Structures are given as structure tokens and as C-alpha cells.
Chain A
Amino acid sequence: MNKRERTVFEIHVRENASMLTAYLGSLLVDKNSVDDLFQEVMIEAWRRHDDCDLSKPFGPWLRGIASRVVMAEHRRGNKVPQLLSDEVRLAISEQFENIDSKAGDTWEQRAAAVRECIDALSVDGKKIVLQRYLDGQSAREIATRRELQIGVCKKRLQRARGQLVQCLQSRGLLLSEVLSHE
């Protein structure tokens, strides 16, 4: 493959890196799995880039590869994908297609509502979300530092994510209902 094709591919990689990270984060649990499969998905896309119809968006094509790579990993039993019924995977894909449709040149622009919704959380909700995701602490670490029972901590995290779901739905970034079940 020549230098120009490699450059074009790198542009696609850069434009879709954040989206792919978020998509894999939705399908996987631990960070190392996201790191490993990010590389595997991108390399698979590189191998198959001749199959890609460049007249269509690159993101959905990449998510298709990612979905297959995650399932293959699941079958090999090396990783532990979560909640991976076909229905759920399709519903997640629908949500990402909806995000794709939002205004903005980049993923960061299209997903800007995430930061806005974090800011709109209650003081405690924002604190626990920042500790979990921006500081990278586990639920157990947060529980220890805040002297909470682990169950209480996980419930607070889930409540905060639930509030973010509602906020993002109200801003149109997430669909209130997915169609996959129909």
C-alpha cells in the first residue's frame, strides 16, 4: 500500500478514534480490552479497506468490524464482553447512528452534550462520575475513599448514569426508544 493510501487511512483513524473508543467501551468492561480491541479493529479495517465504500460514512463500517471482532473475542473466551445479546448490540449501534447524525464536524463536537450533562448533575452525582471516569478510579476505590459500602457506591454511580441518560435523551444525543426490538 502506498504512502497516500496510508495517509488517507490515518485520517479515517483519527476521525473515528473517539467514536470507536466509546463504542468499544459500551461493549466491553475493562480498559485493557478496549486498548487491545481498538488496535485489532483498526488493523482489520486496514486489511479490508479495499472493501470499504468511501462514498458512505466510514464510522458505521468500522463499527460493523468492531462488533464482529468483539463477538469473535467473546467466542474465543479470552475476554468477557457484557450484556451482548444481539438485541442489545443492535440497540447500541442505533444509538451511535443517532450520534453520527448530530451536527458537528468531529465526534467531540457531536458529543459535546456529554460534558454539558455532567455539569448539570447534582454535586454528588458529578463528583462520583468524575472520580469514576475522569480520575479512572474503580467503584471499589471510590467506596473506600468515601467510606461507602460498595453496593451504595455502585448504586450512586448507576443513578448518575441514569440521570445522564435522561439528560442526553432530552438533548437528542440519545434516542428515547430504540427500534431493534421491532
Chain B
Amino acid sequence: MNEPIEEILRDAVDGVPRDSSERIESLEPAALSQVASELVVHGLLCELGDRDRNQSEQRIDRVMDAIGGGSTQKRRRHASAGKRSLVKITSSLLAVAAALAVIAFLAMPKGDLLAAVASVETMISASLEEADRTYRVHVVDKYAPAELTSDTPVEVQRKNGSVNDATLIVRGLDKFVLIHSPVWGAGRVSGCDGKQSWSFRSGSPVHVSADLSQFRNSLPGNQNDLPMLNIQKHLDQLKAGYRLTLLPGSKTGRNGETLSQLTGVKKSNEIRGPQEIEIWFDGSLGSIHWMLLDKLPRESGEPKSILLELVGQSAVADEFYAFQFHDALNRDVVSD
């Protein structure tokens, strides 16, 4: 693409907008493709940013208000407590799933146990690999203010920032980056590179700690003894706590994979963690496609239900797990 056209594109997308249609009427085919592709990428990125800021929902509300009646989601939100909305479970956190798979291994009837052994072992192996996996975190349901105990006022939850629409990237047992939504999570980013843990949010310095678990409490489910990392540490707590059911090959994944369903119901309220867990996994590869943590303890200040969705398995650079990669503003660093 020649320099004048590149300049027009730069001005149009990142500078002062102007009508340049006449100047590019006679684009060569290759330049036409390039111009269109770059504009499409600009549009895709704008949409991605809007999605992270939850602006799409606001637009939909405005449209439905304009045509009368309001949106069903909005009415649901206003109805407090809310039923679980369209639960589109798509995936889960691998480490938790591996832990639960071990629970299944230990607690299932003999027939199911034999059928599940191979896939369970594959899942555990997968969880220990230094592979990168990217998840989106969805808050499926929240407790209504009246359902919360006095220990967890709504204001505290608001300050802590919700994990709704956060992106989580994990590698192995101790590396992770959790990027909260700018809207729901106050722009908070936290992580651990295996040597130190770190966290910062909009307008704050970077807090770092040699304690690798220092900032893990922002991880979904972590406050409820369902760790996404270091599953062995918590296995003893988990293995006896849930009544498990396995339905091998009960569903087909979006790319044709045969998925099995593992459900767990907590045996006693004495046990911490969500009341119910649902996992859909591909036993042949060890990949988990869906996981729902339902009826989380209300005293934890967490949402009622969280859905974890595997959205990517591309490798990221080692430095991705260090705070410097994400700290575009070169913030001050504070050691905790």
C-alpha cells in the first residue's frame, strides 16, 4: 500500500476524521483489500473494547426502550436476585476440573470409575503442562442485597471489583494473569510469574510480593477453596466433599468433540465451596469445555454463580506473566 493511502488511513482511524472517499476511488485491488482489512480490524478492536466496557448491553437496553417494553435482561436485572439467565456453559478452569476429576476417581461407583480412569489421568496430565490457556469469566448470577450477610455489604463487593467479564490466562501450577473488566473490575490486573505475584488497578502503583499466593484471592472460586492453581494442596479438602455423577459422552461440543458431564453436589454445608459444580470435558484430550460454579457461599462476598469459558489455547510469551508486560504506564512499584 502506498504512503498517501496509509496516511489517509492513519488520519481516518487515529487522527482528525475527514471525508477521503474521493481520494481513494481508484484503489488497486491489493490496496483495496488492505484498506478494507485494516478498517475491519479497527472495527473489530473497537467492538472488543466496547465489549470489555459492557457498552453493548447499554446499547441493547436503549434500543429495546426505544421500541417499547425494555429488554428482558434489563427487566431481569431490575427484578433483583434474578433467575439464572441463559446459561451458556462453554468451558472451565483446567486445574479445578482436574481436581474434581480426581474426586470423581476417588468417589465414583466402580463401573463409572473404570470408564473415567483414562480421561481423568489425561486431564490431570494436562493441568500440569506448561501450556497457556485463556478463559473468560462470566458472573451468571448474583445474590440480591437482601440475601447477603452483614459481613459482606454491597459496597465492599463493589470496591473489590467483580470478576464479571474478566480474562484469565493460566500456565501450569503457578503462573496466571487475571485482567478484570474496566467496568466491572475497576481496571484491576493481577498475576504471578512464578517468582513473584503482583497486582495493580487504574490509578494505583504496582504491588508486588514474593508470596506467590498474595494476590490469588481475586481469582474466581479461590476464596472458596476451589483453587485454580496448586490443586494438590486442596485436594484433600475437595475429594470427600461432593456427591458426583458422571455421564460419559452425553453431549457434542461445538467442534464435534464428544463431551462427558461431571456434576458435583456438595454433601454438607460444613464444606466450603460452591453448592453445585458442572463440568463438561473431552476425556480423550483432557480439555475442559464448560464449568459452572453454582451457589457460591454468600458470606464470601463473591457472586452466586460463575461460569468459566475456555476461549483460547494459544501460547503466550514467558514475559506475559510479568507485570511489566501489562504496565503500559510504567507505574511505581511497591513491595508488599
Whether A14 pairs with B37 at a CB distance below 8 angstroms is: no
Q: Is A64 an interface residue (CB 8 A)?
A: no
Cross-interface CB contact of A178 among B32, B60, B73, B316, cutoff 8 Å: B32
Q: Is A149 an interface residue (CB 8 A)?
A: no
Cross-interface CB contact of A165 among B8, B37, B66, cutoff 8 Å: B37
Cross-interface CB contact of B312 among A9, A74, A112, cutoff 8 Å: A112
Cβ contacts under 8 Å, A130 to chain B: 328
- B71 — nearest CB in chain A belongs to which residue? A10
Whether A29 pairs with B13 at a CB distance below 8 angstroms is: yes
Whether A96 pairs with B53 at a CB distance below 8 angstroms is: no
- A74 — nearest CB in chain B belongs to which residue? B19
- A113 — nearest CB in chain B belongs to which residue? B312
Cross-interface CB contact of B311 among A24, A38, A84, A115, cutoff 8 Å: A115
- What is the minimal beta-carbon distance from B316 to any residue of chain A, in angstroms? 5
- The interface size of chain A toward B, counting residues with CB under 8 Å, comes to 87
Stretch from B42-50, B115-123, B214-222 at the A interface:
B42-50
Considering only residues 135-151 of chain A, those with a C-beta below 8 Å from chain B are: 135-136, 138-139, 145, 150
Whole-angstrom CA separation of A42 from B67 in the bound complex? 10
- What is the minimal beta-carbon distance from B101 to any residue of chain A, in angstroms? 25
Whether A158 pairs with B36 at a CB distance below 8 angstroms is: no
Q: Is A177 an interface residue (CB 8 A)?
A: yes
Whole-angstrom CA separation of A168 from B33 in the bound complex? 13
Cβ contacts under 8 Å, B62 to chain A: 39
- A173 — nearest CB in chain B belongs to which residue? B44
Whether A139 pairs with B33 at a CB distance below 8 angstroms is: no
Q: Is B111 an interface residue (CB 8 A)?
A: no
- A82 — nearest CB in chain B belongs to which residue? B12
Whether A134 pairs with B314 at a CB distance below 8 angstroms is: no
Q: Is A120 an interface residue (CB 8 A)?
A: yes
Whether B312 pairs with A84 at a CB distance below 8 angstroms is: no
Whether A84 pairs with B21 at a CB distance below 8 angstroms is: yes
Whether B39 pairs with A83 at a CB distance below 8 angstroms is: yes
Q: Is A85 an interface residue (CB 8 A)?
A: yes
Cβ contacts under 8 Å, B21 to chain A: 81, 83-85
Whole-angstrom CA separation of A136 from B320 in the bound complex? 21
Whether B29 pairs with A177 at a CB distance below 8 angstroms is: yes
Cross-interface CB contact of B46 among A9, A22, A104, A115, cutoff 8 Å: A22
Whether B311 pairs with A21 at a CB distance below 8 angstroms is: no
Cross-interface CB contact of A119 among B43, B71, B320, cutoff 8 Å: B320
Whether B46 pairs with A25 at a CB distance below 8 angstroms is: yes
Cross-interface CB contact of A24 among B43, B48, B72, cutoff 8 Å: B43
Considering only residues 109-136 of chain A, those with a C-beta below 8 Å from chain B are: 109, 111-112, 114-116, 119-120, 123, 126-136
Whether A17 pairs with B56 at a CB distance below 8 angstroms is: yes
Check A88/B39 contact, CB under 8 A, given A38-B59, A120-B314.
yes
Interface size class of B (residues with CB under 8 A): 35 or more
Tell me if A's interface is mostly helix, strand, loop or mixed: helix
Whether A114 pairs with B8 at a CB distance below 8 angstroms is: no
Q: Is A46 an interface residue (CB 8 A)?
A: yes
Cβ contacts under 8 Å, A120 to chain B: 314
Cβ contacts under 8 Å, B134 to chain A: 115-116, 119
Cβ contacts under 8 Å, B66 to chain A: 39, 43
Cross-interface CB contact of A46 among B35, B36, B67, B314, cutoff 8 Å: B67
- What is the minimal beta-carbon distance from B111 to any residue of chain A, in angstroms? 34
Whole-angstrom CA separation of A17 from B57 in the bound complex? 9
Whole-angstrom CA separation of A104 from B15 in the bound complex? 35
Q: Is B80 an interface residue (CB 8 A)?
A: no
- B167 — nearest CB in chain A belongs to which residue? A115
Whole-angstrom CA separation of A39 from B319 in the bound complex? 42
Cβ contacts under 8 Å, B36 to chain A: 88, 91-92, 94-95, 178, 180
Considering only residues 186-233 of chain B, those with a C-beta below 8 Å from chain A are: none
Whether B328 pairs with A119 at a CB distance below 8 angstroms is: no
- What is the minimal beta-carbon distance from A71 to any residue of chain B, in angstroms? 11
Whether A155 pairs with B32 at a CB distance below 8 angstroms is: no
Residue pairs across A and B with Cβ atoms less than 8 A apart, 26 shown, are A6-B67, A13-B60, A22-B43, A22-B47, A25-B44, A26-B39, A26-B42, A29-B17, A30-B17, A46-B67, A83-B9, A83-B20, A83-B21, A83-B39, A84-B21, A92-B39, A92-B43, A95-B36, A95-B37, A114-B48, A120-B314, A126-B325, A133-B48, A134-B182, A135-B49, A157-B14
Other 9 A-B pairs with CB < 8 A, given A26-B43, A83-B24: A80-B18, A81-B21, A95-B37, A108-B311, A115-B311, A119-B134, A139-B14, A165-B38, A169-B37
Chain A interface residues (CB < 8 Å from chain B) = 3, 6-7, 9-10, 13-14, 17-18, 21-27, 29-31, 34-35, 38-39, 42-43, 46, 74, 80-85, 87-88, 91-92, 94-96, 103-106, 108-109, 111-112, 114-116, 119-120, 123, 126-136, 138-139, 145, 150, 153-155, 157-158, 161-162, 164-165, 168-169, 174-178, 180-181
